């Protein structure tokens, strides 16, 4: 899928997510997790985001809160990954 098509898909997922559409909530989490179709500067479509785990967690939490418990495992895995990364950074800073 070319970036222009991804832009359109991401736009419509955001619109659908405003109405708590479960598919859109999940797909936005996936987009941010993988860094697809999302930008750092949404106004001028500048630099693409490579990955944004915090935003992915936000969207996965919303889909779980909206009754899709099957995505709890995905959310838990990302939270654990983020926790390990923060621990790694803490150790790295401690031993500087």
pLDDT of residue 61: 92
What residue ranges of the chain have pLDDT lower than 50?
2
Task: Yes or no: say if 21 and 49 are a contact pair by the CB < 8 Å rule.
Answer: no
CATH topology assigned to domain 3-94? 1.25.40
pTM: 0.70
DSSP per position, the chain:
--HHHHHHHHHHHHHHHTTT-HHHHHHHHHHHHHT-S-BSSTTTT-SBPS--HHHHHHHHHHHHHTT-GGGHHHHHHHHHHHHHHHHHHHHHHHT-
pLDDT in tens, 7-16: 788 889 999 9
Q: How many Å apart are CA 64 and CA 74, to the nearest integer?
A: 10
């Amino acid at each position: 899928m070319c970036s222009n098509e991804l832009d359109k898909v991401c736009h419509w997922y955001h619109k659908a997510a405003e109405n708590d559409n479960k598919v859109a909530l999940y797909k936005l989490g996936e987009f941010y997790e993988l860094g697809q179709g999302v930008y750092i500067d949404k106004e001028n479509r500048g630099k693409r985001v490579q990955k944004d785990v915090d935003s992915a967690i936000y969207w996965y939490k919303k889909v779980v809160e909206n009754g899709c418990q099957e995505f709890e495992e995905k959310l838990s895995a990302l939270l654990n990954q983020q926790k390990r990364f923060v621990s790694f950074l803490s150790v790295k800073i401690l031993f500087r």
